């Protein structure tokens, strides 16, 4: 995490926020593709054919890559649906300290959604937000609906 924040800070100083957002998004998506394949292999998961398969795997994956300082929850009250909620966000707090939170494009959601994409899982997300939702709402959330053949 320290490397991530120092990388972002130095890129911001060198390139400005617009270019840093673009580079950050590309880096997060590329990293997420490698990361989710490694987690799948480590857990011994081959196929995620049902929502139940996916949900079990997703919870293990999130527990694997997150620390206690990441204040979030993912819950599923309906089949094929999860809600991710952040009441506090380390990325928001760090970017706000840099003074560019009003122009920051969220890399957290890029990571999660890249996992879904790399796993070949069809989904819809609401709301579709690019900038930091925490800035204006005081919390951040996404509702995901998944489409499985089985």
The residue length of the chain stands at 150
Percentage of the residues of the chain whose pLDDT score is greater than 90: 62
Of 9-18, 115-124, 132-141, the poorest mean pLDDT is in 132-141
pLDDT tens-digit series, residues 18-76: 999 999 999 999 999 999 999 999 999 988 999 999 999 999 999 888 877 777 888 89
Two tokens, residue 72: 């979030």
Report domain extents, the chain.
2-147
Specify the pLDDT at position 150: 67
3-state SS track over 59-127: HHHHHHHCCCCCCEEEEEEECCEEEEEECCCHHHHHHHHHCCHHHCECHHHHHHHHHHHHCCCEEEEEC
Name the residue with higher pLDDT: 90 or 36: 36
Average confidence (pLDDT) over 129-136: 87
* Interatomic CA distance for residues 24 and 17, integer angstroms: 10
What CATH number was assigned to the domain covering residues 2-147? 3.30.1380.20
Name the residue with higher pLDDT: 17 or 78: 17
| Helix (H/G/I), strand (E/B), else coil: 141 | strand
- pLDDT exceeds 80 at position 125: yes
């Amino acid at each position: 995490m320290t490397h991530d924040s120092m990388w972002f800070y130095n890129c911001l100083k060198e390139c400005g926020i617009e270019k840093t957002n673009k580079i950050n998004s590309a880096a997060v998506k590329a990293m997420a593709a490698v990361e989710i394949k490694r987690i799948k292999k480590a857990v011994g998961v081959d196929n995620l054919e049902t929502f139940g398969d996916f949900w079990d795997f997703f919870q293990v994956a999130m527990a694997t890559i997150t620390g206690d300082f990441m204040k979030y929850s993912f819950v599923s009250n309906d089949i094929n649906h999860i809600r991710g909620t952040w009441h506090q966000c380390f990325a928001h707090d760090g970017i706000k300290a840099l003074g560019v939170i009003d122009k920051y494009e969220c890399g957290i959601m890029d990571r999660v959604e890249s996992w879904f994409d790399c796993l070949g899982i069809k989904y819809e997300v609401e709301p579709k937000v690019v900038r930091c939702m925490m800035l204006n709402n005081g919390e951040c959330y996404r509702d995901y609906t998944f489409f499985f053949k089985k």
